[in-house]
A and B are shown apart, each in its own frame.
Chain A
Amino acid sequence: MASYVVEQKDTQGFVRLTGDLTAGLVPDLQIALKSLLDEGATDLLFDLEKTVMLDSSGMGLLIATSNSLARAGGRMKVTNVSPDILRLLQCMRLAARLNVSGSESNRGS
């Protein structure tokens, strides 16, 4: 069962994860993202509100997507990440590259 919901409106794409973004999910999500980009999405928003775990395979997928969008003149944003995942992405020096923001409940803290 897919652990994500993908929506598109013109050039805007939305990817809402409903679970973790780890190696087991990456091949399936990769296909869905390629389809999204092929259909013209150039601005992508990843919502990780329900995501507790992100591993190196998941990071690789986010970076590959970001790279593809950059080549097409688009951009992507990753929002609602948990404090643990935010710290992980900061440690891996990826937070700025992936345009990451924390969850609503953690903003301002």
Chain B
Amino acid sequence: MTLLRTAPTKVFRREIHSELAEADLLCAEIRELLAPADLNEACFAVELLAHESLSNAVIHGNQKSADKRVLLELRFGRNWIRLRVTDEGRGFEWRKEGLSICDAAATSGRGIALYALYAGRVQFSARGNRVTLWISRKEKSGKQS
């Protein structure tokens, strides 16, 4: 019996400063939260997407500004885990971003492609300062392309 199974609508919320070290600590907390939940491959997907969305929020969204915060919310449904990350930045033109995998020699630009690979559904707010990702609790994550 696990907490997540007995409370399928459980919500986990945390707010951090715009620092990558705090993002890493939060992801470690998420790993501990998910470990007993018997989610198999979904654990890796949730943690990976948390890393990506928090890094994007800290670096690109809030531009590491000390007075801006990042809010993370995990909501556990029966079939899906919903990850939502919100920053206080100006947002970005997500409609112009491609979801495809970039050239293998490129040293950046893979974050959005990882959303598409590991989340069943990806949604940005109109402004682009909030991303919501749905990860299946059952299906294998990391679609082979």
Q: Which residues of A come within 8 Å of B, CB atoms? A: 20, 22-25, 52-53, 55-57, 59-61, 63-64, 67, 84, 87-88, 90-94, 97
Contacts and interface: CB of A to CB of B under 8 A. Distances in A.
Majority SS at the chain B contact face: helix
Nearest to B103: A93
Contact of B47 (A24, A53, A60, A63): A53
B104 A56 contact: no
Interface string B99-122: 001001111101101100100000
Contact of A67 (B101, B105, B111): B105
B110 A23 contact: no
Contacts, number: 72
Interface residues of B, number: 30
B117 A91 contact: yes
Interface of B: 20-21, 23-24, 27, 31, 41, 44, 47-48, 51-52, 55, 58-59, 101, 104-108, 110-111, 113-114, 117, 142-145
